[in-house]
Amino acid sequence: DAGVIQSPRHEVTEMGQEVTLRCKPISGHNSLFWYRQTMMRGLELLIYFNNNVPIDDSGMPEDRFSAKMPNASFSTLKIQPSEPRDSAVYFCASSLDRGRSYEQYFGPGTRLTVT
């Protein structure tokens, strides 16, 4: 099993540019999560999907952030326009949810630096 796949692993961009992060969950998993990790704020849940439908996006910082899950094997997190305070490691995780809370499997993360 390949695990959760994220791309790119590292992204350096200038303020104002659009950034798109990509995630491929584990095959067969029906829930997908986007997290952001910083030293100051720790690990924050941004949004999660169940069966490709966004369930809770209350963690999305502002309208500059958007996430999509067009099918069960792909999700994107977009930041437009990006700002230096968006610099963080962004993790995607997936799990198999049968109505109870199961463990989440994390990808390796995308380290985003906005200059």
Stretch that binds other proteins, among 19-27, 40-48, 61-69, 80-88 (CB under 8 A): 40-48
Residue 72 lies near other proteins (rule: CB under 8 A)? no
Residues 13-32 that bind other proteins (CB under 8 A): 31
Residue 101 lies near other proteins (rule: CB under 8 A)? yes
Residue 48 lies near other proteins (rule: CB under 8 A)? yes
DSSP state of 62: S
Strands 110-114 and 105-106: unpaired
d(CA 3, CA 16): 32
Nearer to other proteins among residue 10 and residue 17 (C-beta): 10
d(CA 5, CA 42): 22
